[in-house]
Amino acid sequence: MAKESSNWGLSTRCVHAGTFEDTMAGGVNTPIFASSAFQVPGPTGRVVYPRYQNIPGQVAVAQKIAALENAQAGIVVSSGMAAISSIFLAFCQTGDHVVLQSDLYGGTLGLAQRDLPRRGIDVSWVDSHRIEEFEAALRPKTRLIYVETPSNPLMKILDLEALARMAQARGVLTVVDNTFATPINQNPLDLGIDIVVHSGTKYLNGHSDLCCGALACRSTLMETIAPVISLYGPSLSPYDCFLLERGLKTLALRMARHNQNAMAVASYLAQDSRVARVYYPGLTDHPKHAIAARQMRGFGGMLSFEPKGNAETAHRVMERFTLFKPAVSLGGVESLACFPVETSHASVPPNQREKMGIRDNLIRLSVGIEDTEDLLKDLDRALQATV
């Protein structure tokens, strides 16, 4: 993180951190550097090339993300999965072992279930929030522990400080997918976690018009990760860097509204007799609310709920939404709704989904930044399908 930005608040970092000075025209934004060929020797004295992640637009946006995550180093890539897979590629080899929380984004589950074993990497799953169970899963060859909190789609919360303390004592790296929380609501590195990953496709960009990923960590770890990213090549184009940087400028503002709207929606659903269950860490009856309140500054824009009735009832609810659009993905300014069993977790076998607690009538909401009252009216109208 650049020196001056460490004194700024999060909103100021969103706007100013990393911005590349436009010395040619004096523009206030980082220019789009569209070249894939840069002169040698250039002004930096280094070979500059987009796949090496060192063109100015990539550096600018990576520095902004590092500043937001209180990290020494950041990097942006072409998808969240590229960021996630890069970590396993960088730190694990045949014969190694990793420990994953079992409640994870479906793509990460797929990577760990299908691809890591093919590379000779052993995977253990922990279906618990108890740090002792993560510790019990460790082996001499365990390289890293990978978790999400809040998790997708059941908003489970893990005590990051306790996890980091245990893992540090055992010499194991910890990785947190911070996509749902965003650096505005949670900074895992401050709690002792080693690496943060993001699907930047979601809140970081925030406008549902870009696929990208990011990771942030200390410089010594980045020295291992960056060369792997250069070799496998998931670089982010200068145009996409521009969009991501533009989106990030309003991240703090957007998250304040996402937090506020999601809390209102969760509270509304929690008191509605047409709803069986609500999953949102901001609700005081969430089993890990106290931990969430300790490690998060806001509870985020994501929540899940089960309307009373079966999957058919839930589908009728979904059909009645007008503002909540039935769509995959999340984290944009517009409200979205989806069935995890048909989208993020469609590739997870039904018996495994059932064990995870992801039922067929579970609806996940990505609560946008619209007027709260309009969202509540939309929910009320949709829930009439249950009676």
User: In whole angstroms, what is the distance from residue 369 CA to residue 367 CA?
Assistant: 7
Residue 79 burial (10 A CB sphere; 0-12, 13-18, 19+): middle
Q: Using alpha carbons only, give the angle 102, 107, 110 rounded to the nearest 5 degrees.
A: 65
Residues 124-183 that bind ligand PLP (CB under 6 A): 148, 152, 177, 179-180
Q: Is 80 in the site for ligand PLP (CB under 6 A)?
A: yes
User: Considering beta carbons, is residue 180 or 280 the nearer one to ligand PLP?
Assistant: 180
In the complex, what is the shortest distance from the CB of residue 136 to ligand PLP, in angstroms, rounded to a whole number?
Answer: 25
User: In whole angstroms, what is the distance from residue 76 CA to residue 83 CA?
Assistant: 8
User: In whole angstroms, what is the distance from residue 26 CA to residue 30 CA?
Assistant: 10
Can you read off the two tokens belonging to residue 314? 């839930």
Figure out which of the listed residues 12, 19, 72, 79 binds ligand PLP, where binding follows CB under 6 A. 79
Q: Is 235 in the site for ligand PLP (CB under 6 A)?
A: no
User: In whole angstroms, what is the distance from residue 229 CA to residue 66 CA?
Assistant: 17
User: In whole angstroms, what is the distance from residue 66 CA to residue 158 CA?
Assistant: 23
Figure out which of the listed residues 5, 85, 201, 304 binds ligand PLP, where binding follows CB under 6 A. 201
| Residues labelled as active-site residues | 51, 105, 177, 202
User: Considering beta carbons, is residue 105 or 339 the nearer one to ligand PLP?
Assistant: 105
Q: Is 199 in the site for ligand PLP (CB under 6 A)?
A: yes
Q: From the CA atom positions of the chain, what is the Rg in Å?
A: 21
User: Would you tell me how many other CB atoms lie within 10 Å of the CB of residue 270?
Assistant: 17
Figure out which of the listed residues 186, 208, 344, 386 binds ligand PLP, where binding follows CB under 6 A. 344
User: Considering beta carbons, is residue 79 or 260 the nearer one to ligand PLP?
Assistant: 79
Give the x/- contact pattern for ligand PLP in 103-132, rule: CB under 6 A. --x-x-------------------------
Contacts with ligand PLP by CB under 6 A lie at: 79-81, 105, 107, 148, 152, 177, 179-180, 199, 201, 211, 213, 344
